[in-house]
Amino acid sequence: MNNNILIAYFTWSGNLRKMAKEIQIQTDGYLYEITPQNAYPNDYFQTIYMVQKENEEDFFPKLKSEIDIKKYDIIFIGSPVWWYTIAPPVKTFLKTHDFTGKKIAPFISYGDNGIGTIEADILQLAKGAKLMNALKIFGTGESEHKNEIDCWVEQLKIF
């Protein structure tokens, strides 16, 4: 286990989990799933509607578990693009921790509507963090992305 690397991610339909697991294989970091206390609905359109409302209200959902990020120097942050920005549980994670002196490597999955302002939004919430080059993957996070993920981790030059 690499004690100074954290891989924190949120997923709704599973793509980010696959990406996070591949990053874990490459870095031997600690895998942490960001889970909201109240799960989103299973239904796609209900979730779309709920997230739209949460964003309008600038809502930060409570998370199920706490993690102390002090000991980690490099933090991989995984989020799907939701409504052109970070998913609300990831917003909570970024807002409630102190990232001073830490490097953040965002990994993002998105669909047809594009990534919007997600990178700028991550930087704005993660106070004190230094943003590394982000990985942005269109679509499924299936195994064909393994190479893309591995190359991205390599070019971060964290080892």
Asked whether 27 and 2 are in contact (CB, 8 A), the reply is yes
Q: Where are the alpha helices (DSSP H) in the chain?
A: 15-27, 44-56, 88-95, 118-125, 146-156
Q: Is 15 in the site for ligand FMN (CB under 6 A)?
A: yes
Token duo for residue 48: 């779309």
In angstroms, rounded to a whole number, what is the distance separating the alpha carbons of residues 47 and 21?
25
Binding ligand FMN (rule: CB under 6 A), the pick from 31, 61, 84, 123 is 84
Amino acid at 118: I
**Binding mask of the shown chain, residues 39 to 78, with x at each position contacting ligand FMN by CB under 6 A:** -----x--xx--x---------------------------
Per CB under 6 A, does 110 bind ligand FMN? yes
Q: Under the criterion CB under 6 A, does residue 26 sit at the interface with ligand FMN?
A: no
Binding residue for ligand FMN, selected from 5, 6, 8, 11, defined by CB under 6 A: 11
> What are the residues binding ligand FMN (CB under 6 A)?
11-16, 44, 47-48, 51, 80-84, 109-114, 116
